[in-house]
């Protein structure tokens, strides 16, 4: 017995938000790379690569949004929301790879004693980048929460990680200008950027990984959903309570115990009320499967004695 809510169909608005980020990232990464190259800053070039990786994830979200909102079919009765989860994981892993590569390049430059002497325009560009990427984060995360899109949340945090990564770039550039004899500072700034990049990749990939292995709702949410069902008149107890996420949608199934004297119609009505209450809980529940069990006095006494 199940009632499936209309699934989250957010493809078009997700693409709209992502296209805005894509265009801004395109302009920003181009500007940072040019200024970093001509202004003599390895750290800003590394930051430009980070912004470029944002563009790659933007494309992944745009293309994926056409697929994950495809209606359920015979082979995919639960829909295609796992694709969004996979894209989120892919974004996180891609960011980790970028972080490792930049760390290697930066450490190698320090070891080999390669010097760089950034210009003031580099510091200005880094400061502008911080402001722009923080704006993109705030804009995208608000939209992501409203649209309930894990992939868009991942992309928003990628914007935030880019803003954070520009902070050590700005500091390294400023100190390199003030203390030109410290030739390693710019490369050190690039190395610090890589650490931020790698951590943001882990933070993005981990939630998606939990969904892929069917991690259910946390204890607090599970208890709240159980109490909703137990508060329904006629429900004596519940057992076999399970949940799992498909994308940001929560699926719930459980057994309710009812009085043996109830008619089949009455028991069915209680189960339907339980399903509707779960769907209306406001906790992203899109499907509720409630099985009805008659009250067994002997089993109840056995459980009490355990």
CB 126 within 8 A of CB 163: no
Domain boundary assignment for the chain: 2-212, 219-305
Overall size of the chain counted in residues: 306
φ, ψ for residue 59, nearest 5 deg: -60, -40
Please give the pLDDT value at position 101. 80
User: Considering Cα of 134, then 139, then 142, then 143, what sign does the dihedral take?
Assistant: negative
Please give the pLDDT value at position 155. 77
- In order, the DSSP letters of 226-239 are HHHHHTSTT--EEE
Mean pLDDT by 10 residues, the chain (306 residues): 49 80 86 85 77 71 71 72 77 82 79 71 87 88 80 78 77 79 75 79 79 79 92 91 81 91 91 90 83 75 39
Q: In the chain, helix, strand, coil percent, each to 5?
A: 70, 10, 20
CATH code of domain 2-212: 1.20.1510.10
Give me the residues paired with residue 257 across strands: 237, 293
What is 219-305's CATH topology? Answer: Alpha-Beta Plaits (3.30.70)
Candidates 211, 99, 111; CA nearest to 153 is: 211
Please give the pLDDT value at position 303. 43
Q: String of b and e for 244-255 (b: at least 16 CB within 10 Å)?
A: bbbbbbbbbbbb
How far is the C-alpha of 221 from the C-alpha of 94, rounded, in Å? 32
Please give the pLDDT value at position 49. 75
Please give the pLDDT value at position 52. 73
């Amino acid at each position: 017995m199940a009632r499936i809510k209309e699934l989250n169909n957010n493809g078009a608005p997700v693409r709209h938000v992502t296209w805005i980020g894509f265009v801004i990232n395109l302009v920003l990464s181009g500007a940072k790379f040019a200024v970093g190259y001509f202004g003599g800053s390895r750290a800003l070039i590394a930051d430009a690569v980070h912004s470029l990786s944002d563009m790659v994830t933007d494309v992944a979200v745009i293309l994926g949004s056409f697929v994950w909102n495809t209606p359920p079919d015979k082979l995919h009765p639960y829909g295609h929301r796992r694709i969004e989860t996979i894209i989120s994981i892919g974004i996180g892993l891609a960011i980790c790879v970028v972080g490792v590569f930049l760390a290697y390049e930066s450490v190698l430059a320090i070891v080999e004693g390669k010097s760089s002497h950034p210009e003031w325009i580099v510091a200005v560009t880094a400061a502008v980048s911080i402001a722009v990427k923080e704006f993109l984060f705030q804009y995208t995360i608000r939209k992501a929460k409203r649209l309930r899109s894990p992939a868009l949340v991942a992309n928003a945090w990628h914007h935030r990680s880019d803003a954070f990564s520009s902070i050590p770039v700005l500091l390294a550039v400023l100190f390199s200008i003030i203390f030109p004899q410290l030739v390693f500072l710019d490369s050190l700034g690039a190395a610090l950027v890589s650490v931020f990049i790698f951590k943001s990749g882990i933070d993005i990939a981990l939630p998606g990984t939990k969904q892929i292995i069917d991690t259910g709702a946390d204890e607090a949410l599970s208890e709240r959903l159980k109490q909703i069902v137990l508060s329904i008149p006629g429900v004596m107890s519940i057992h076999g309570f399970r949940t799992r996420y498909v994308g940001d949608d929560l699926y719930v199934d459980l057994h309710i115990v009812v009085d043996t004297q109830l008619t089949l119609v009455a028991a069915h009505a209680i189960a339907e009320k339980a399903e509707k209450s779960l769907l209306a809980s406001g906790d992203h529940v899109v499907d509720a499967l409630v099985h009805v069990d008659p009250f067994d006095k002997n089993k109840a006494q056995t459980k009490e004695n355990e």
